[in-house]
Structure 1
Amino acid sequence: MVVIALGQMRRRPTAFVGLAVALFLAIGTVTLFGSLFAADLTAPEAARKAAAGPGVMVIAGAFGEIAVLVAFFVVVNALGFALRQQHRELALLRTVAATPRQARRLVRGQVVATTLLVTAPGWIVGAVAARRFLAELQRRGMAAPGVRVPGTPVPMLVALAAVLAVGLVASAVAARRISRIAPAAALTAGSTENSRTGTPRLLAGIAALVGGALLLRLAATRPAEQPDKAGQAALLGSLVLLIAVALAGPLAARALAAVLGTPVRALAPGTGWLADANLRGYARRLSSAVVPVALLVGLSGTMVIMTSTAEQAESMTASSVTSGTDVWLRQVEFTLLACFAAVSTVNTLVAVTAARRREFALLRLVGATRLQLLRMLTAEAVLTAAVGVLLGAAVAGAASAAFSTATTGSAMPSVPAACWWIVAGAAALTVPGILATGLRAVRGPAAQLVSGGHE
């Protein structure tokens, strides 16, 4: 199983590169904030009291709870896609007498191998980031000069254990379907896509939607003098709503694609119709591409609108130095979350498009030219970006309205012009990313790609 697992990773590098980057980010993030916790715990009592502001542990907790959840969300999304890319190969193993337990063991081996591969770089980046972040806090008076990041390996080991646990749980859930159905049925299922969203997944999506709504209600009912607590609840609520979008993604993406695809079919009757049919016919693939875009727009939009709303309401009543530090902390948090979402978007879009080489080759064999395929991909990219932006904007709007209700008493937040830059950034990552990967995917002899199906 170890040899087969490593062989699959070599055969489909694009799928596992995205997973590796997601795991790297997760390990680095947990190491970063774990090291800051350790620094505060090991600091002398006098050093803790000497610093102005909430303290290193409070800052690390406020940053970490959202950043770590986002990192794990990215890991689960990347892992699910990597396993879907191997569905046919896992089905073939089942037909040659591989047991469900062996199939699950293969998937676990891939997760463990990928995690161990990125552990050392993640530790290094996390430790360096922790020291630089602490130094900046000290420069701004938010941490005492005597606080130091300890040399203990505990934060690193905790990061490895946490990421491994998340990866193994996610792999068990993702591999459950292929390991439980009959071998012949597994092979048949691997050649097609099930258009239905399973009942357990749909129920989980509804539960996440309810949980997100409760968090937004909690944010909306916070007192006006507690904008930070309202902001954290709203941001956490937006993340839970995005998890609901991911769980019910195929259903929501198919519905939006059907609506948005109508003008595309009218403007481009040939390639537009094919692009719309591809997106609606492969809803799970569309969901894989849409969710990272929604994550980028949803989290970034929520952060930017909440900051603008807080500034408009003049909710920061501390001194000018503290207010400047608060703004800096929000900017750092926004940058961190935007980087996670952007990396997830690029990785997923590249992997999703690169995995379609065999499909493109089949279209070329039945008469489609490379130019026609690129036109089809352009229409798909525009629709994908539009669906992701709409879903993300809906989440950002709901979270920002809850925060605005708490801080200003009105559900109408202040929407700055920077939101248009977020939309433009999402489109700039989506459309060129799909087209650049598509240019490479349509190269090569079509007959050879169809027969081999290699990347």
Structure 2
Amino acid sequence: MLRLAFGQIRTRPATFAGLATALFMAVTAITLFGSLIAASVVSPPAYAGQPGLVIIGGAFGEIAVLVALFVVVNTLGFAIRQQHRDLALLRTVAATPRQVRGLVRRQVLIVVLLVSPAGWAAGALGAHRLLGALVDRDLVPAGSRIPFTPVPAAAASVIALLLGMLSAVVAARPVCRVAPAVALGESVGGDRRFGPIRTPAGFLALAGGGGLCLAVARQPPDKAGQGALLATLVLMVAVALLGPLFTVAVVTVLGLSVRVVAPRSGRLADANLRGYAARLSSAVVPLALLTALACAFLSLGDTVKDAAHHLSGTELTSVNSAGDVWLRQVELTILVCFGGVSTVNTLAALTAARRREFALLTLVGATRRQLASMLCAECLLITAVGTLTGTAVAGVSVSSFSVTLPGSPLPSMHPAGYGSIAAGVAALAALGILLTGLRATSGPATETVAGQRG
């Protein structure tokens, strides 16, 4: 079974690229923040006014682990869908659901082992640089140092493996929950059902995110900011679980305008996206996560700035100190790097996996220019849905923070900052979809149809 798992990874590098990137970033982030926590053991104690290494490492690590779980579940789900036919064939030749789940777990184990050394090195380097910046800004005591210990690196790999194993349980369920013949049929036509667990879990996460927003609204301003970020992630979990339900509805509405502007390519793009709900959700969710995190971080700062004239000097310092602002910027940078790399890999893998589909369209008369127009329309729709979804999630969560401040209860977001976020998300979508799609449409169509699996 281990040899079969390795063979699937070796023959499908594009499929597992997103998962490898997500797990690499998880190992890197956990090693980095774990090293900061380890440094607290050998470093001088923090004095009044300093947050301390344990608080910084713990707060950052908590958000990093949640984002890692979110991205790993999404990318592994895509990898399993790309193997759906192969796994269904295994079921038809007497492989049990337990054996299929074991195969997926071994794939996760192999990927974690492959990416861990690079993640350890990147995390250790980042920890040393971040600690130096914290000392320079007097956020931690002078003389703080990173101890030489393998504990953070080992813990990072173990946590990444646990995240992957948890994701495997969720991702492998569609091919394991049904009879082998049904699983094989779904590998051809696609599974249009939304299982008995996913949808209730999505509404449960939605209720949990709403409850967390209400709790944040009752906190003092200096504590409500981190709670708002946590609420953003919980609401994004709900979006991921309910993605196939709402993304198709949103695309149906937005697709009308695209079909008017570009009747042929727009109609084809709209039909493709609505016809493959799972694929659409996998493409939209990373963009929405990136938009939601970036908007939440920037909106928190802008909201505090707009409420500054209503706050006393002491209140303003406690909510918006220079150190806190810098720490938020560092956290945003790390999470944007995490989300950005994973987004590009996921979109590129999704598009590359459609090579056979593009070849079939070519054989029935579509020109390369028409395929490029269709990809542009799809990219526009996916970017619009992801950006609007992320903006809505961030608006709800940051509203729970803004009501704790005097002045307007609505969150603030300066147009230039939001424009930069939207432009960045659009650029990542174009990089992942258009460039990969243009490459996937090249080459002889007959050879692609005859030689490519799935």
Q: Which residue of 1 aligns with 2:375?
A: 377
Q: Please report how far the alpha carbon of residue 51 of structure 1 lies from its aligned counterpart in structure 2 after TM superposition.
A: 7.0
Instruction: Within 5 Å, give how 1:221-232 maps onto structure 2.
Output: 221-223=218-220, 227-232=221-226
1:431 aligns to 2:430 (yes or no) = yes
Change (3 A) 1:26 1:49: closer
Instruction: Within 5 Å, give how 1:39-438 maps onto structure 2.
Output: 39-43=39-43, 47-50=44-47, 52-223=49-220, 227-314=221-308, 317=314, 323-408=321-406, 410-417=408-415, 418-438=417-437
Q: 1-side partners of 2:188 and 2:46: how far apart?
A: 63
Instruction: Within 5 Å, give how 1:436-455 maps onto structure 2.
Output: 436-454=435-453
Q: 2-side partners of 1:169 and 1:68: how far apart?
A: 13
Letter in 2 for 1:208: A
Q: Please report how far the alpha carbon of residue 303 of structure 1 lies from its aligned counterpart in structure 2 after TM superposition.
A: 0.5
Q: Please report how far the alpha carbon of residue 444 of structure 1 lies from its aligned counterpart in structure 2 after TM superposition.
A: 1.6
Could you give the per-residue CA deviations for residues 321-362 of structure 1, whole angstroms, max 9, x where no partner exists? x93222211111111121112112101110110000111111
User: Where does the alignment leave 5 or more consecutive residues of structure 2 unmatched?
Assistant: none
Q: Please report how far the alpha carbon of residue 454 of structure 1 lies from its aligned counterpart in structure 2 after TM superposition.
A: 4.6
Q: Secondary structure at the match of 1:53?
A: coil
Is the contact made by 1:275 and 1:379 (CA closer than 8 Å) also made in structure 2? yes
Q: Please report how far the alpha carbon of residue 179 of structure 1 lies from its aligned counterpart in structure 2 after TM superposition.
A: 2.4
Change (3 A) 1:55 1:359: same
Q: Please report how far the alpha carbon of residue 205 of structure 1 lies from its aligned counterpart in structure 2 after TM superposition.
A: 0.5
Q: Please report how far the alpha carbon of residue 409 of structure 1 lies from its aligned counterpart in structure 2 after TM superposition.
A: 5.2
Letter in 2 for 1:118: V
Moved more, 191-200 or 332-341: 191-200
Is the contact made by 1:11 and 1:454 (CA closer than 8 Å) also made in structure 2? no
Q: Please report how far the alpha carbon of residue 431 of structure 1 lies from its aligned counterpart in structure 2 after TM superposition.
A: 2.5
Q: Please report how far the alpha carbon of residue 52 of structure 1 lies from its aligned counterpart in structure 2 after TM superposition.
A: 4.3
Q: 2-side partners of 1:426 and 1:176: how far apart?
A: 31
Question: Where has structure 1 moved over 3 Å in runs of 4 or more?
Answer: 49-52, 315-320
Q: Please report how far the alpha carbon of residue 206 of structure 1 lies from its aligned counterpart in structure 2 after TM superposition.
A: 0.5
Q: Please report how far the alpha carbon of residue 102 of structure 1 lies from its aligned counterpart in structure 2 after TM superposition.
A: 2.1
Backbone CA RMSD of aligned residues: 1.7
Is the contact made by 2:5 and 2:106 (CA closer than 8 Å) also made in structure 1? yes
Q: Please report how far the alpha carbon of residue 50 of structure 1 lies from its aligned counterpart in structure 2 after TM superposition.
A: 4.3
1:13 aligns to 2:13 (yes or no) = yes
Is the contact made by 1:301 and 1:422 (CA closer than 8 Å) also made in structure 2? yes
Could you give the per-residue CA deviations for residues 22-47 of structure 1, whole angstroms, max 9, x where no partner exists? 0000011111111111111333xxx2
Q: 2-side partners of 1:169 and 1:300: how far apart?
A: 27
Is the contact made by 2:22 and 2:72 (CA closer than 8 Å) also made in structure 1? yes
User: Where does the alignment leave 5 or more consecutive residues of structure 1 unmatched?
Assistant: none
Q: Please report how far the alpha carbon of residue 299 of structure 1 lies from its aligned counterpart in structure 2 after TM superposition.
A: 0.7
Q: Secondary structure at the match of 1:407?
A: coil
Q: Secondary structure at the match of 1:413?
A: coil
Is the contact made by 1:51 and 1:143 (CA closer than 8 Å) also made in structure 2? no
Is the contact made by 2:379 and 2:429 (CA closer than 8 Å) also made in structure 1? yes
